[in-house]
Amino acid sequence: MQRRTLIGGFSAVALAAGCRARVSAEAPVSRPSSTLRVMTLNLAHGRGRAPSQSWIRDPADFRRNLDAIATLLRRESPDIVALQEAELGSSWAGDFDHVGYLAERAGYGHVIATAHMREEGRFRYGTAVISRHRMSEGQGGDFQAQSRWRKGFTRAIVDLGGSDPLAVLTVHLDFASARRRRAQLEELAGIVGTTRRPLVVMGDFNTSWTERDRSGLAEFADKLGLRPWCPELRAHRDGVRTFRGMPRRLDWILVSKGLEFANYATLGGDKVSDHIPVLADLRVTTPKPRHLSLIHGHSAHV
């Protein structure tokens, strides 16, 4: 049995009751009809359950870890996956493209990736979006506020066929400094601007919703009209933690007006990373809008 927390409910009026629902389910997570399934996962550089990158030397070990993630993706079948700490060809991670390998093994035909750490002969990793649907207008960027380990985002417009195009961002914020996280979120809010497309922002934000260190995640979401699933839930008590090393909810899926949560799950039984995969089933409720560009005036490193 795969252990996970599964929380269900429909629309804002059902959130209170839905947030109290908590069950353990066998794989795969049941998917409501007419929904779009999304997932976010920090890949931890492909090291799996190893506590340090230096513990893994053989490229075959990285491939085995990625194969386990591919098995998870095939089982749960998300339409769109946001990835962080995604290796694109680093010497310390087997010297091969983890994103391309994972996409091929899991059956995802569309990939957009951005390297935020770029050091010749050593590091090339960042964020990525993989999708079963065609993606266009792919673009990525680095934040101006940075530490030694650079962070950023990747965005894509996903063609859902008969539905509205969906704007998707995968985000990785600084892990050490609330001041830098706040600066990165303020920068991201300015980059995103105003969009009339349905928007999903997913990733490793390295902060909880009402963080004492004042990273500003709730302010960022409010500014852009985004909302998470049940932010009042406590990571440990309510089973929604997303980081194995401590009872904290660091990984978030935020959605705009025009999208509704139909299902939400943290897949704690899948020990493929130091982060726990987070899954959501969404319903698109917005009528098709006029075209409006998502990101303006930001240089890309794709």
Q: Which domain holds residue 91?
A: 5-284
For residue 78, tell me if it sits in a domain: yes
| pLDDT (average), residues 220-228 | 94
297 lies in some domain: no
Please give the Cα distance from 196 to 198 (Å, whole number): 7
Predicted structure pTM score? 0.87
The verdict on residue 289 lying in a domain is no
> For residue 57, what are the contacts with CB-CB under 8 A and spacing of at least 6?
none
Beta-carbon neighbour count of residue 288 at 10 Å? 12
Give the Cα separation of 282 and 261 in Å (integer): 5
Q: Which residues contact 227 (CB under 8 A, 6 or more apart)?
A: 221, 254, 255
Sheet with strand 5-8: strands edge to edge: 5-8, 259-266, 278-284, 36-42, 80-87, 123-131, 110-119
CATH code for position 207: 3.60.10.10
Domain membership flag for residue 89: yes
**Number of folded domains that form the chain:** 1
Q: Name the pairing type of β-strands 166-172 and 199-204.
A: parallel
Q: Is the pLDDT reported for residue 294 higher than 80? A: no
Q: What is the pLDDT of residues 159-218, one digit of tens each?
A: 988 777 899 999 999 998 999 999 999 999 998 887 778 999 999 999 988 767 689 999
Q: Confirm whether 294 is domain-assigned.
A: no
Is 60 exceeded by the pLDDT of residue 24? no
- 240 part of a folded domain: yes
Note whether residue 97 is domain-resident: yes
Is residue 300, in this structure, part of any structural domain at all?
no
Cβ–Cβ under 8 Å, residues 64 and 100? no
Across 59-63, 130-134, 142-146, the highest mean pLDDT is recorded for 130-134
Instruction: Choose between 228 and 212: higher pLDDT.
Output: 228
pLDDT at 17 over 60: no
